[in-house]
Amino acid sequence: MSNLGELLAPLNVKYIILVNEADYQNYDFLNHQNDLKIIMQKPGITLSKMSMRLPGRNAANSVVHIQSLDDYLR
């Protein structure tokens, strides 16, 4: 798998933080992603940014105020 960013894009994930604790070696696949860019790497921590995003997905573009469940159901 090399497209984790594409798979997480619908969830609006922007960053992945990997802390070198316990079983962090199990997440080595993060270093082999085509759509993740490591933007910071220091001893014990790696910050990656998603290069794949789906604009408009999972984002509210308006707000509707309702007063009751009946309003919602209408």
pLDDT for residue 48: 93
- pLDDT tens for the 74 residues of the chain, in order: 888 888 888 888 889 998 888 888 888 888 889 999 999 999 999 999 998 655 555 555 667 778 887 877 77
pLDDT for residue 58: 52
Q: Residue 16 in contact with residue 36, Cβ under 8 Å?
A: yes
Distances (CA, A) of 57 to 41, 53, 54: 29, 9, 6
pLDDT for residue 56: 52
pLDDT for residue 43: 93
pTM: 0.63
